[in-house]
A and B are shown apart, each in its own frame.
Chain A
Amino acid sequence: MKIQAKTALGIEISTRHVAMALVRRERRRSVLVRAAKVRTEQDLIRDGRIQDPAGLARAVRQARSACLGMFGYAYAAGIALPVGIVQLHLLDLPDPLPSNLASYVRDEVGQFSSIPADRIVSDHGPIGPRAANRLLAAIADSGPIMDLIRPCAGSRLVIQMVEPGCLAMVRALTPYLARSQSANVLVVSLGAEGMGLCVLRAGKLDFLRSQSISETCDDPEALTRYVSSQLREVIQFYTVEAASGAQQWRICLICQDGLALSAQASTVLVPKGCRAELDVLRPEEVISAAVQCQDASIAKDVGMAAVGLALGLLGDTSDIPKLNLLPPGVIGKRRLIRQLTITGLVVALIILAAALVEVGLVARVRVVEQAVAGRKALIRSGQAAELVSQQRQLDARIEEGSRVAQVMQELVTRHKHVDWSGLLEDIRQATPATVAISQLSAQATDQLSLVIDGYAIDYPSVRSFVDRLAQSDHVASASLVRSGVDVVYGKTHLAYQIRCVLKAKGQ
């Protein structure tokens, strides 16, 4: 999608001046914001060549400064080519139409030109009521065009359109002519750079010719004669060739750059036998019809071609064809620069995105690193292995200790403790005076037993002894297992044996 500029700068470069017009589009009208015309002492262009590039650059700079100021910028700018640089041709197209029209036009108009093939710049557009069959073709040498573009580029002006000056001028003239209802209008514009002749029929451009008048421009009489002859030729052509030649003609004459015709011009210019009326137009009249001037004084010193070109850049809707002779190299280079700029932007975006992603990743890595570092700070190297080793050692010691403790506890509890001293005291206390103990044997192994052997005077004493033993706290039971008479040392005694079951401590 092409964005239409709202402000356009038309540049008209002529032999002796550089004119600029800054036009802004405001809703349905165009406003001439500023205009400037810088005249030069020397000829800038002669024989289709730039004579004074430095002077041209200076003039462009001055005009630009006057129009845009030091830091102003025009989004669209175009150059109206002077007569000497561009050649215009009217072509009748064959039927059927050639498949590659551009190539056909280029070849056709190239035949009439001495421009080297690699430097030809051409463009074409439909012209006349039967636009399908007639073309207006323009051809120019890219060298002089580049010589014109270069100082503009040096003044920070991006040239988007290079158009024949006479075509731009006709575009500026169209709104003025649209006011009248004349069928055939013949426009003659005279300027320092040359003469432009065009025929508009029913408001549409039908004929266009531009010619140099450098030889006659200084002599009003000669210029009048020359213009008269040219007018006669055109009207005669339309009277003879065209079917509608008998209609009324309106001849519009515009003189610029101080050119003057002879005093009898009003009678001389109208061909005899032709119904025509001559209308001498002032440039500011035409400009005022084409654009609205913010300041009336601006319109006095403005190039018509510059205004027409600016209108063309702003998307003029008239039927005047738009021819652009911008060299393909410039277009290609500009397109390349645009693509490189876009590529650079994309690359910059990629780098920026990568940098942002990297920053994000670094931040994320920092978070994870901090989390890991926090955990690592709590773990020494080899701590787990050391802990496992300690655990194993401790397990082994616990196992061994448990085994020892179990054995020791078992030993302590297995032994049936007998209060031996208490038992002996009880036996002493329980022994009657009539009883003697000869042998006392006690076991505290699997069974707690006590066996007492002795002698007694009589049986009741033995029984009393047994009973007393049975009452002891250390004896569970006592029984007399054997008794009998025995003689000891010549005396008769009662031999006995008492068997006791002992009590363990705590039973």
Chain B
Amino acid sequence: MRLTELANLSRSSRQTVLAALVVIVAVAMYRWTISPQLTYLKAMQQYRPVIENAHRQTFTLQASLQTRRRLFEQLQQQLEALSPRFYSLNESGDLERQIMTMATAAGCSVTSMAIRHGPGPGQQKDLDQPVRRLDLDLVVVATYDSIVSLVKALQAHERGVYITSLSIGPSGADGSALQCRLAIAVYIRQQEGILYG
């Protein structure tokens, strides 16, 4: 619309045209400048509590994890303190030789040694049990002193060697040697990775 045409318009029409121009500019400015910023600000304001909540959760999780780590460390220490009393799976294969060596060292003559793989500590045949019991029946012929030495050696062993029964009787007719029958129980750790990792 040319200026002369605008000038020829009636007062109300001209005011309408100019008012429309103002409204268009106002709306355009709102749509182009204010609205995007406003929308972005609203989004950021909505995002802020989310990120703060996430941060709070992360902080809580970290604190909780820290507590659990401390608990796990305590558990590790407890298990490390207990584990020397138990044979490992690797050591269990060498158990017979160790007993034999101790008996020989004590001056005992081993006449019989039998190993029975018993159930777990809960007296159930559960392969998932962390500890497995191994029963060993040992029969030696020796003097009373040698038997005492053997018993002392067994009890002083770093692993837990539990004598569940002991029976001493004459070995022969002359009574010079004694036959000692020992029932021994040891425990083997089935799971090694609990302490580490």
Contacts and interface: CB of A to CB of B under 8 A. Distances in A.
Question: Are A and B co-members of a single complex?
Answer: yes
Interface of A: 329, 332-333, 336, 339-340, 343, 346-347, 350-351, 354-355, 357-358, 361-362, 364-365, 368-369, 371-372, 375-376, 378-379, 383-384, 387-388, 390-391, 394-395, 397-398, 400-405, 407-412, 415, 417-421, 424-425, 428, 437-445
Contacts of B86: 408
Nearest to B82: A408
B16 to A, nearest CB: 11
A46 B131 CA distance: 133
Interface of B: 3, 6-8, 14-15, 18, 21-22, 25-26, 29-30, 33-34, 37-38, 40-41, 44-45, 47-48, 51-52, 54-55, 57-58, 61-62, 64-65, 68-69, 71-72, 75-76, 78-79, 82-83, 85-86, 121-122, 129-131, 144, 147-149, 151-152, 154-155, 160, 162-170, 185, 187, 189, 191, 194-195, 197
B164 A343 contact: no
A420 B48 contact: no
A336 B3 CA distance: 9
A226 B162 CA distance: 161
A408 B79 CA distance: 8
Given A368-B45, A419-B155, A332 B194 contact: no
B41 A400 contact: no
B75 A391 contact: no
A420 B155 contact: yes
Interface of B (DSSP majority class): helix
A343 B22 contact: yes
Contact of B25 (A347, A358, A400, A437): A347
Contacts of A415: 160, 162, 185
A365 B41 contact: yes
A418 to B, nearest CB: 7
A191 B197 CA distance: 121
B58 A384 contact: yes
A340 B168 CA distance: 126
A398 B75 contact: yes
A79 B40 CA distance: 60
Contacts of B163: 418, 420, 444
Contacts of A388: 61
B186 to A, nearest CB: 11
A38 B75 CA distance: 115
A289 B85 CA distance: 134
Contacts of A419: 155
B22 A391 contact: no
B114 to A, nearest CB: 18
29 contacts: A329-B7, A332-B8, A333-B7, A350-B22, A350-B26, A351-B25, A351-B29, A354-B29, A372-B51, A375-B52, A375-B55, A379-B58, A387-B58, A391-B61, A391-B68, A394-B68, A394-B69, A398-B75, A401-B72, A402-B75, A408-B82, A411-B131, A412-B160, A419-B155, A420-B163, A424-B148, A428-B144, A441-B165, A445-B164
